[in-house]
């Protein structure tokens, strides 16, 4: 495309502006993130060196100090015994690194040249490509959160398979295995609060099975996960046997996410094929959140030796939790 300062200047202004406009769609393009956003599980923060979340514990009890020495003793006992109660815990927060997330806008010089004398059509073309590029970031973010088996870092979005780790053998016994390090917290005690609720070999999905595990988490934490996400095949099986189930819609539903969704009590159930096969995640959006930097994304044109215009989109995001115990993972779930 021959140099044209008029369109060069227009593109340099329009693309960043449209990128910011479409940023709000990042968490609406896939069912899981759309549901998380509706339930308060997407947090928009103004950046910073890291994400810090004050910890939440499964049980909170009143403690009366009859003697000033009691407080000193409790503090020492907490440091010596990792299986500590909420009011005695000396660990107050979990921290997470922001991960860099990149997208790209590629505009064909051939197409731009054809449209150079038609500003309206050029605007439609560039706007559409920009929207698609930003929404692609949302799809990648959704897939990483549901499928990544590693912890978050500066170069990776953490995934629920890692964050919701270790399993409960019975109600009141979370963490049959050592808690996996996360958020700067490492502990070798199997009964530590930094374990989630995980059950293997669950079998056929039914409302009774779902209710059992939601109730187990409630019995241990006092809160019921408000979101269940599963592969589409499991969702279809569950929906086909609906009994006393409220379908969510604009008129009578509690939440409208723009995708297929049903509710069991206060728990929203959504299908998402980025969810690992045979897996159901039970999410408490109060304690498990997707963070997105409020100051981004930013756009930079990158020179390339091809007949295209290449723009790099950069933003920061991360999955973070301040209470793994409030969340669950069911494995070996079948139709």
Number of domains comprising the chain: 2
pLDDT in tens, the chain (335 residues): 444 556 677 787 888 888 877 777 777 788 899 899 989 999 988 877 899 998 876 444 444 444 444 444 444 444 444 444 444 445 578 899 999 988 889 898 888 888 888 888 988 899 899 888 888 888 999 999 999 998 889 989 999 999 998 644 444 445 555 567 888 887 655 556 678 888 888 999 998 999 999 999 998 888 999 999 999 999 989 888 765 444 443 333 444 455 667 888 889 999 998 999 999 999 999 999 999 988 767 888 888 888 888 888 888 999 999 988 899 999 999 99
pLDDT computed for residue 265 by the predictor: 83
- CA-closest candidate to residue 176, choices 201, 202, 149, 196: 196
Same domain, 82 and 168: no
Q: If you write DSSP's letter for every residue of 110-130 in order, what string do you get?
A: HHHHHHTT-HHHHHHHHHHHH
pLDDT at residue 263, as a whole number: 81
Domain of residue 168, CATH code = 3.90.1690
Residue 180 and residue 58: Cα distance in Å, rounded?
18
CA separation, residue 76 to residues 72, 80, 81, 110, 215 (Å): 6, 6, 9, 71, 34
pLDDT at 191: 52
Element (H, E) at 72: helix 68-80
Q: Which structural domain, as residue segments, surrounds residue 119?
A: 5-55+91-334
Do the Cβ atoms of 51 and 184 come closer than 8 Å? no
Q: How many CB atoms lie within 10 A of CB 60?
A: 11
- Nearest one of 225, 209, 253 to 261, comparing CA atoms: 253
- The alpha-helical segments, DSSP class H, found in 116-258 are 119-147, 160-163, 207-221, 232-240
Same domain, 150 and 270: yes
Does one domain contain both 79 and 185?
Answer: no
């Amino acid at each position: 495309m021959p140099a044209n300062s008029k369109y060069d200047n227009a593109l340099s202004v329009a693309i960043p502006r449209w990128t910011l406009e479409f940023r709000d769609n990042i968490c609406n393009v896939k069912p899981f993130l759309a549901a998380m956003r509706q339930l308060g599980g997407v947090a928009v923060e103004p950046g910073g060196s890291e994400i810090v979340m004050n910890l939440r514990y499964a049980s909170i009890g009143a403690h009366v100090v009859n003697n000033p020495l009691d407080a000193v003793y409790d503090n020492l006992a907490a440091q010596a015994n990792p299986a500590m109660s909420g009011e005695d815990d000396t660990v107050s927060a979990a921290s997470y690194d922001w991960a860099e997330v990149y997208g790209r806008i590629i505009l064909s010089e051939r197409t731009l040249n054809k449209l150079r004398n038609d500003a309206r059509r050029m605007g439609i073309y560039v706007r559409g490509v920009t929207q698609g590029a930003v929404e692609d970031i949302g799809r990648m973010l959704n897939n990483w959160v549901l499928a990544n088996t590693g912890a978050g870092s500066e170069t990776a979005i953490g995934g629920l398979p890692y964050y919701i780790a270790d399993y409960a053998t019975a109600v009141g016994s979370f963490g049959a295995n050592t808690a996996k390090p996360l958020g700067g917290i490492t502990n070798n005690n199997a009964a530590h609060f930094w374990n989630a609720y995980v059950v293997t070999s669950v079998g056929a999905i039914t409302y009774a099975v779902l209710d059992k595990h939601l109730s187990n988490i409630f019995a241990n934490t006092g809160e019921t996960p408000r979101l269940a996400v599963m592969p589409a095949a499991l969702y279809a099986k569950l929906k086909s046997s609906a009994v006393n189930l409220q379908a969510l819609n604009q008129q009578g539903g509690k939440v409208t996410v723009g995708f297929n969704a049903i509710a069991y009590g206060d728990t929203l159930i959504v299908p998402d094929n980025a969810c690992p096969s045979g897996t159901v995640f039970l999410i408490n959006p109060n304690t498990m959140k997707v963070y997105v930097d409020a100051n981004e994304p930013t756009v930079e044109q990158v020179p390339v030796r091809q007949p295209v215009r290449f723009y790099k989109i950069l933003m920061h995001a991360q999955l973070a939790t301040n209470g793994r115990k409030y969340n669950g993972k069911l494995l070996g779930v079948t139709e």
